[in-house]
Amino acid sequence: MTLIRPLVLSLMMAMPAVSHALTDKGTYKALPSETPTTFKPTNDAFDYETRDVMIPMRDGVKLHTVILVPKGANKAGILFTRTPYDASEMTSAIASGHLAVAVSHDDEPSDVLVQDGYIRVVQDVRGKYGSEGDYVMNRPLHGPLNPTPVDDSTDAYDTIDWLVHHVPESNGRVAIIGISYDGFEPLMAIVHPHPALKASAPMNPMVDGWMGDDWFHHGAFRQQNLEYIYEQTASRKNHYKWPANYADDYQFFLEGTSAGAVAKRYGMEQLGFWNKVVAHPAYDAFWSQQAVDKILGREPVSVPTMIVASLWDQEDIYGAFAVYKAMAPHDDAHRLFLVAGPWFHGQEIGDGSSLGAVRFGSNTGLYFRQNILRPFLAHYLKDAPDLPAPVNAFVTGENRWETAPSWPMSTGDTLNLVPEADRSLALAHGGHGTGTGTSGSVEYVSDPTHPIPYRPRPVGPMSGTGWQHWLTNDQREASARPDVATFTSAVLTAPVRISGAPHVHLVASTTGTDADWVVKVIDVYPDQVAKQPEMGGYQLGVSMDIFRGRYREGFTTAKPIQAGASLPYDFSLPNANHVFLPGHRIMVQIQSSWFPLYDRNPQTFVPNILLAQPGDYVTATQKIITGGDATYVELPLGR
């Protein structure tokens, strides 16, 4: 102790004196802060003005809305988007005084916006980010699924009414536009629309989440969307992020067994929308009553509407064409437009020169924005004289745009692709099948412990280029597997043009009591392609989808399959607008898993596959009945 005291004293003597910095009460005097309590930026150099407002709805809830007004705007049209993805971020993607740069977000066709001087308005839907109220995924219209007096239609109406009375620079005309979920909103806005709504442009819209958009395809659950459901519904501002503990989603979901087991591991029983998905695995009233194509099929086309579809839309490939088909019979005033481009989900507002390895010979996205979208908006917001054709569709294979009065651009004739027992593919015109060979069969073993990956491993999440391009991936890896039945035509000597949705007539048996059927129509390139060597022998998916066998007798009720019985399965594939060129071949692939995008069918019938247990998963032998009038794919021939 005697050694410690002198050391402490010496240290104390070496410390600087600080007593002069103390007040009488013994506290430190504050050093003045260099940060103001409130800072008001001056944006004099900006070419636009930002107004951040809360707009009241009819029930008193206020919705956060960002209004961007170009400097000098006078009697300008309003371009309006409603989003669950943060209006503030969408309107300030990059800190810039230039409007075109600030709104360079994935949902912004900024070149059209800036060139034509529109006022830009982006709003958080109720319950998300800066908006008040409760969030409900794709909030249904007022009715059996929504007893409240408010929905996305009324919110759009009330917002438009406020805008035309509170934005003096506007001409009182509004167009609503958006992609995906933001594309669902323009469809809701045209249900009992506000008189100032002069145009609607739903792009790649969410329409029917069970039949073929985000949540299911013909009953098969898109389990990789668990991440989206988790992040989108667990908090108002998407604070909770999906923990990515695996580099390969294939391994993650394989070890997780069922989608329900994975969801339970992540505490998703706390999430209202996930509980609804689990409670409604079949196409019951919960899904059918909120299907937007069914709703709009009962409405007159009162607002000019341009529906934009992507032919390789990896997220919402069903909805755009379904809405067009439902609305077309009610288009007495010719207000309905359709665009079909060679794009992934949302690619139309980016560079559309290629998709994965497939090249299109021009920037199809720029062409769409400048030559189709721009005149459509200008006509209804600015009285510009020109309008695009009712239908603009890109012909893949021949790589050109084509116009028509209606969709599909078909002759009304069909070509049947008829699988044969020797793995060949016969081409027959009209009738039922009419294959050239005798009846036979092709078998494969479907093992749920080794499901077929839908894209090369490691399988990443539903984001990034790997996800965007997967529908155009080379299908050779699948065709080489023993659990894929592959049928190939002879080399074509003349072009085969298709336009519309191929229809599958599958006759098959299984040793299980449930089964999934994945059918792909594929364009097989010549063995060598001089100008693009990597395309030699390429197997390009033109139209592909999955069907859950338990719904073969109807989508509303799941029923077990009779083991060993040869039964028919009829379903449609996504729309295509394609030319199989001379020198190419046509291929059909049939398989029983597409993993991990779609959950595995246990191949034993259980009441709810989302809740299947490890012991439910069994190996099954699948038999495709070939030849004659058994299995065939009906192609709609184009003009």
Can you give the CATH number for the domain in which 501 is found? 2.60.120.260
pLDDT digits (tens, 9 = 90+) for 163-190: 999 999 999 999 999 999 999 999 999 9
pLDDT digits (tens, 9 = 90+) for 431-455: 666 655 678 999 999 999 999 999 9
pLDDT given at position 468 = 98
pLDDT given at position 114 = 80
Query: How far apart are the C-alpha atoms of 332 and 301, rounded to whole Å?
Result: 8
Query: How far apart are the C-alpha atoms of 202 and 188, rounded to whole Å?
Result: 10
The amino acid present at 429, given as its one-letter code, is H
Q: Round the average pLDDT of the chain to a whole number and report it.
A: 94
Q: Which helix (H) or strand (E) holds 427?
A: strand 425-429
pLDDT given at position 8 = 45
pLDDT digits (tens, 9 = 90+) for 245-254: 899 999 999 9
Q: Is 234 helix (H, G, I), strand (E, B) or coil?
A: coil
Residue 618 lies in a domain: yes
Q: Is 424 helix (H, G, I), strand (E, B) or coil?
A: strand
H-state helical runs in 301-455: 319-327, 364-368, 374-382
Query: How far apart are the C-alpha atoms of 260 and 549, rounded to whole Å?
Result: 20
- Helix, strand, coil percent content, the chain, rounded in steps of 5: 25, 30, 45
Residue 15 — very low, low, confident or very high, per pLDDT cuts 50/70/90?
A: low
pLDDT given at position 5 = 52
Query: How far apart are the C-alpha atoms of 334 and 522, rounded to whole Å?
Result: 35
Residues 414 and 373 in one domain: no
pLDDT at 478 over 50: yes
Residue 28 lies in a domain: no
Region of 368 (left: φ > 0; alpha: ψ -120 to 50; beta: rest) is: alpha
Residue 11 lies in a domain: no
pLDDT at 529 over 60: yes
Q: Provide the strand spans (E) within 550-628.
A: 567-572, 576-580, 585-591, 620-626
Residue 578 lies in a domain: yes
Classify residue 146 by its DSSP letter.
B
On whether the pTM is more than 0.85, the answer is yes
Residue 537 lies in a domain: yes
Residues 391 and 466 in one domain: no
Residues 243 and 374 in one domain: no
Share of the chain above pLDDT 70, in %: 94
Q: Which residues pair with 396 in a beta bridge?
A: 578
pLDDT digits (tens, 9 = 90+) for 270-292: 999 999 999 999 999 999 999 99
Task: Write down which residue in 251, 285, 319 finishes a domain.
Answer: 285
Residues 304 and 279 in one domain: no
Task: Write down which residue in 404, 420, 438 finishes a domain.
Answer: 404
Instruction: Determine the structural domain holding residue 445 and report its residue range.
Output: 410-638
Residue with the bigger pLDDT between 94 and 380: it is: 380
Residues for the chain: how many in total?
639
Residues 432 and 523 in one domain: yes
The number of distinct structural domains making up the chain is 3
Residues 197 and 311 in one domain: yes
Residue 628 — very low, low, confident or very high, per pLDDT cuts 50/70/90?
A: confident
Residue 6 lies in a domain: no
- Give me the CATH number covering residue 273: 1.10.3020.10
Residue 34 lies in a domain: no
Residues 61 and 122 in one domain: yes
Residue 279 lies in a domain: yes
pLDDT digits (tens, 9 = 90+) for 299-352: 899 999 999 999 999 999 999 999 999 999 999 999 999 999 999 999 999 999
Question: 151 near 287, Cβ under 8 Å?
Answer: no
DSSP letters spanning 513-551: S--EEEEEEEEEPPS--TT-GGGTT-EEEEEEEEEEGGG
- Give me the CATH number covering residue 92: 3.40.50.1820
DSSP letters spanning 429-487: ESSS---SSPSEEEEEEE-TTSPPBSSSSSP--S-HHHHHTGGGSBTHHHHTSTTSEEE
Residues 547 and 621 in one domain: yes
pLDDT given at position 29 = 85
Residues 183 and 293 in one domain: yes
pLDDT at 93 over 80: no
Task: Write down which residue in 232, 257, 285 finishes a domain.
Answer: 285
pLDDT at 7 over 50: no
pLDDT given at position 11 = 44
Q: Provide the strand spans (E) within 255-350.
A: 305-310, 336-341
What Rg, from alpha-carbon coordinates, does the chain have? 29
pLDDT given at position 41 = 80
Share of the chain above pLDDT 90, in %: 88
DSSP letters spanning 27-85: -BPPPPPSS-SS-----TT-SEEEEEEEEE-TTS-EEEEEEEEETT--SEEEEEEEESS
Question: 69 near 48, Cβ under 8 Å?
Answer: yes
Residues 280 and 292 in one domain: no
Residues 598 and 548 in one domain: yes
pLDDT given at position 430 = 72
Query: How far apart are the C-alpha atoms of 478 and 484, rounded to whole Å?
Result: 7
100-122: string of b/e by CB count within 10 Å (b at 16+)? eebbebebbbbbbbbebbbbbbb
Question: 231 near 242, Cβ under 8 Å?
Answer: yes
Q: Which residues pair with 67 in a beta bridge?
A: 51, 121
Residues 540 and 441 in one domain: yes
How many angstroms from the chain centroid is the CA of residue 539? 23
Structure tokens at 159: 């917002």
pLDDT digits (tens, 9 = 90+) for 541-588: 999 999 999 999 999 999 999 999 999 999 999 999 999 999 999 999
